[in-house]
Structure 1
Amino acid sequence: MKRRHCAAAALIAVCALAMVSLPVQAWASPAPIPSAAAAPSARAGKSLAEVREEIDQLYREAGAATDAYNLAEEKVEKQTAELDELGRAIDEGRQKIARLKDQAGAQAREQYRNAGLPPGTQLALSSDPRLFLYGLNQMRQSQQASDAVLADMTRAQADLELYTEDAQVNWEKLEAGRLEQARAKKEINARIDEAKAIEAQLEEEERARLLELEKQAQAAAQSSWLSSGALHDINRAASPSGRTAVRFALAQIGKPYVWGAEGPGSYDCSGLTSQAWAAAKRPIPRTSQEQWARLPHIAVGDMRPGDLIIYHSDATHVGMYVGDGMVVHAPRPGRNVTLAGAGSMEILGVVRPDA
C-alpha cells in the first residue's frame, strides 16, 4: 500500500511539472459522485450540503481576515523601517547641532580673548592702510562665517523638530498597524476554530461524504466553466518569467496552508503567488486584494500560465494559472498546496504580474 502511495505521488509531481512546457488535454471532471446533499448531519439537523456551505463561508471569512492581517503586517514593516530611518536622521541632526554649537562657542571664546573684538576688527583699527584693508576683509569673512553657523544651526534645529514630528506620526501609525494585526489575528482564529468545531461534530463517515461533496461541487463548476468557452486557449504559451513563477509554485505542492505564511515550509494563498513571482525577479504585492488592485487586469479568455486568478467578490483568494485549465493554489487551513480546476471557484478576474 505504501509503495502504491509513493508511486501515485511521484506520478502527480511529474504530471504537474509537465504542464509548464508540454501541451496537454483539457482537465476533465471526475465521474459523478453519488450526492450526499440530503444526508442529515450531526449539526442541528442540517444537510451536509448546508454544513459544507457554512464551513466554506467561515473559511472565506478567515481568508478575508488573513488578507487584512497580511496588509497590516506590510504596513507595520514599512513603518518600522521608516522609524529606523527617522531615528538615524534625528541622531545625525543632534550631532550636527552639537558640532555647530562647538563652532559657535569657539568663535565666542576667540572674541573674548581679544577683548570682545575678532582679529579682523583689531586690524581694521590699525593706522596702516594695508592692514586696514586686510582687516576689513577679515572682518567681513568672520561675520559671514558667524552668519553661516547661525543659519546652519537654525536649519538643523528646524529639521530636527520636523523629524521628531514625523517620528511621532509614524509611531502612531505603527501602533495602529499592530492593533489591526491583533484584531485580524483574533478574527482569523475565531473563524477557523468555528469551522473546526463544526467539522468535529460530524462522524467520520459524514466527514468523508463532506469531502466528496466538495470535490463534486468543484468538478461541476470546472466542467461548466470549461464548456462555457470562457478560456479561449487552454494552453497559451507562458512568458519566460511566467515559466519560472509556475515552476516555483508547482514545486510547493504538498506543503501545508498556514495563514500569514510565505514559505519555505508553508504558505497562504497570496504568500504562494507573491513568492513565486519573487522567484521570477518580479516582486508583486503581498495580498490577493492588493494584487487585484495594483496589477494589470487581463481578460479571463486571454490568460496564460503564470497569470494570477483572483477569486470571490472581495478578492480574498488567489491561485496561479498553470495551463490545461488548472491552477496551483494554497486552499485553506487544513489543506495543502495543490492543483485545482481554475473554474472550480468563483472567478473575480485575472491579473498579469509581467504585463
Structure 2
Amino acid sequence: MGPDRRTLSLGRRSVLVAVTVVCAVTVLAAPGTAFAAPEPSPSPSASPAKSPTPVSNKDLEAVREKLEKLYHSAAVATDEYNAAEEAADKQSAQIVALAKKIVQGQERLAELKKRAGAAAAAQYRSGGLSDETKLMLSDDPQEFLEGAGRVLQGERATKGLLGEMTRTQQDLEQYAKDASAQWQKLEAGRKTKAAAQKKIEKQIKAAEQLESRLEKEEKERLAELEKEAAHKAQTAWLDSGILDDIKGKASEEGRKAVEYATEQLGKPYEWGAEGPKTYDCSGLTSQAWASAGQGIPRTSQEQWKQLKRIDVEDMRPGDLIIYNADASHVAMYIGDGAIIHAPRPGRTVTVAGAGSMPILGVVRPDAG
C-alpha cells in the first residue's frame, strides 16, 4: 500500500530511520536538557495607531491550551468516526454474506419442494390398495415383499425430506431476521458517523479560526510555545532514567512496521485517512502494521483495548504508545526515546519525543 520508496534496500531504510531519530533526539531528547522559552520579539517602534498591540506570551499560552483542547476533542471524534466506519464495513460484509445464504437457501428449498412433489405423486399413483390386498394379488410374494421394503425406505426418505425442508425454511427466516438487524445497526452507525464528522469539522474550524486571528509573528511564537511544552515533557520523561531500562530490539514484523512509518514522514495529517497520501494517527499505525502482515484494530481506542499491553520499560521499536487518558492518540515507538506519529490537522507525519505527551500505556501488535 506504500509508495515505491518501499523498494529501498533494508540498509538504506535503516539509515533513514537512524538519521531521523538522531536528529530528533539530539535536539529534543537529551536527558537533563532544559528548554529555554522563546525570545520575545521586540515591540514594534511604530505608533499604536499603525500597529496592533502584541499578544503577550501568557495570552499565547492560553491560546495554545485552547487549541490543544479543540484538537483533542477532534481526535476523540475522529476515533468515533473511524470506529463507525469500521463497524459499517463489517456489517455490510455480514449483510452480503447473509444475502448469499438466503439465495442458496431459497434454491435448496425449491429443490426440496420439487423432490417432495415427485414423491407425493408417486405415492398417489401407487395408492388405493392396502398392503394385504397387494400381497394376495401378487404373483410373486417375494417380489412384493422386496417392493414393500423399498416403499418403506421411500417413506422414510420422504419424512427426511420434509424435515430438511422445515429446517431450511427456519434457516431462511433466521437469515432474514439477522439481515434486518444488521441493516438497523448499519443505519445507527451511519448516524453516529455523521454526528462524529460534524463534531470533527466544528472543532477543527474553531481551531483554525482561533489561529487565523493571530499575526504571523504571533503564530511563530505560538509554534515555539508548542515546541517548548513538548520539549519540557520529553525532558522530564527522560530525566526519570527511563531509557536506561528500555533496551528491547524490534521483531522482524516490528522492523517492517517502523520502515513503513518512516517512509510516510512529511505526509499531511487528515482525519479518517489511512494513506497512502494522508493519515490520521491510528490510520498510520494500522497501515504500518498491515504492511508487516499483522492486522490490528483501526482506532487508537480499540488498539488500546484489544492489543497486548506491555510495560513501558519493556517496549521495543514497532510497539504502539497510546496517549491521553481516553486513548485518543497513538504513535509508533522507533527507539532511542522517539516516536513517529501523525499529530493533528495542519501537521505532517513527524518524529517526536515519546514522552512529549501524556502516556497512557504501550501495546504490542505482534505479542502472539
User: How would you bin the TM-score normalised by the shorter chain?
Assistant: 0.7 to 0.9
- Say if 2:36 is the partner of 1:32: yes
Matches within 5 A, 1:272-311: 272-311=284-323
Count of residues in correspondence between the two structures: 340
Q: 180, 186, 199: which one pairs with 2:211?
A: 199
Q: Within 1, Cα distance between the matches of 2:36 and 2:21?
A: 30
Instruction: Report percent identity of matched pairs.
Output: 52
Gapped regions of structure 1 (runs ≥ 5): 1-12
Structure 1 pair 180–41 and aligned structure 2 pair: CA distance change class (3 A): farther
Matches within 5 A, 1:216-255: 216-233=228-245, 236-255=248-267
Q: Retained in 2: the 8 A contact 1:309–1:318?
A: yes
Q: Which residue of 1 aligns with 2:122?
A: 110
1:275-319 CA deviation, whole Å, 9 max, x = no partner? 111111121111111111111111112221111111111000011
1:124-179 CA deviation, whole Å, 9 max, x = no partner? 56433112212321220221121112111111111111111111111111111111
Q: Which residue of 2 aligns with 1:82?
A: 94
Deviation at 1:16, TM superposition (A): 4.4
Deviation at 1:273, TM superposition (A): 0.7
Q: Which residue of 2 aligns with 1:18?
A: 18
Gapped regions of structure 2 (runs ≥ 5): 1-12, 44-51
Structure 1 pair 42–166 and aligned structure 2 pair: CA distance change class (3 A): farther
Structure 1 pair 137–189 and aligned structure 2 pair: CA distance change class (3 A): same
Q: Within 1, Cα distance between the matches of 2:183 and 2:114?
A: 32
Supply the AA of the counterpart residue of 1:82.
Q
Structure 1 pair 14–134 and aligned structure 2 pair: CA distance change class (3 A): closer
Q: Retained in 2: the 8 A contact 1:36–1:48?
A: no
Q: Retained in 2: the 8 A contact 1:315–1:348?
A: yes
RMSD between superposed Cα atoms in Å: 2.9
Deviation at 1:234, TM superposition (A): 5.1
Structure 1 pair 313–31 and aligned structure 2 pair: CA distance change class (3 A): closer
Q: Retained in 1: the 8 A contact 2:254–2:317?
A: yes
Greater relative contact order (Cα 8 A, min sep 6): structure 1 or 2? 2
Q: Secondary structure at the match of 2:243?
A: coil
Supply the AA of the counterpart residue of 2:36.
P
Q: Retained in 2: the 8 A contact 1:246–1:320?
A: yes
Q: Secondary structure at the match of 1:47?
A: helix
Q: Secondary structure at the match of 2:242?
A: coil
Q: 152, 166, 174: which one pairs with 1:162?
A: 174
Q: Retained in 2: the 8 A contact 1:126–1:132?
A: no
Q: Secondary structure at the match of 1:318?
A: strand
Q: Retained in 2: the 8 A contact 1:20–1:323?
A: no
Q: Secondary structure at the match of 2:244?
A: coil
Q: Within 2, Cα distance between the matches of 1:303 and 1:41?
A: 49
Q: Within 1, Cα distance between the matches of 2:354 and 2:62?
A: 24
Supply the AA of the counterpart residue of 2:300.
S
